[in-house]
A = this chain, B = another copy of it.
């Protein structure tokens, strides 16, 4: 059972303002809840169906700091941002650890990514390719948005996500700055890079002019068909698969 106040608190975390105020966010769904419970993250609340809680007793007991609430399906779906039926929802504390920006290793830099699905998918791509850092421009969508958490599939646990002034970060870069653009050189002719920063631009406007000026290489995925552009996350995935060390 959840108290009225707890219910209100958890619901408030769908809003950026309250996530920031309380330094907490929601991670939900069977797969994602398990990923977070397997980690050392500080969990505040575990809200779950009885069957799920029984089945995952061992994982839950890893987190004595968390309050466990067994609820009915209707209570859970009232809290949920997901459309499909859910089994568990966690409230997780944001880590307050200060993280140093990447200097001489691979990173993905995001210039104003607005779609939470794209943001989460890019975090998942970094996680797949072993890229340890994502550097978000201050204008990007909040990376603790429930849809970002959903699409990242636990990527937040392994990828360090920074938020900073992107121009400043790129100006000080010691590695090649690769910008995905529609008029760059052919991706397929480029050798794999030991270290680099890959810059992905806004979904409709692409990379802003001030950031484009900081590119050491502009790269294009060769087009054979009629589409005007590729999805931002798909472009990031394609470029990573060609340029990361194999």
A contact set with B: CB distance below 8 Å: 31, 117, 121, 124-131, 151, 153-155, 157-158, 187-188, 204, 221-231, 233-235, 237-238, 241-242, 244-246
- C-alpha gap A153/B204 in the complex (Å): 11
- Residue of B with least CB distance to A31: B204
Cβ contacts under 8 Å, A31 to chain B: 204
Partner of A158, one of B151, B204, B225: B225
- Given A153-B228, A227-B127, A246:B222 Cβ within 8 A: yes
* A224 nearest CB neighbor, chain B only: B130
Q: A224 to B105, alpha carbons, bound, how many Å?
A: 14
| Residues of chain B with a CB closer than 8 A to A188's CB | 241, 246
Residue in contact with A128 in the complex, picked from B151, B155, B224, B241, CB distance below 8 Å: B224
| CB-based contact B246/A237 at 8 Å | no
* Complex contacts, A187 vs chain B, CB 8 Å: 241
Structural contact, B227 and A244, CB atoms closer than 8 A: no
Are B233 and A158 neighbours in the complex by a CB distance under 8 Å? no
Closest partner residue, chain B, to A245 (CB atom): B224
Q: Given A117-B117, A151-B231, A129–B225 Cβ distance below 8 Å? A: yes
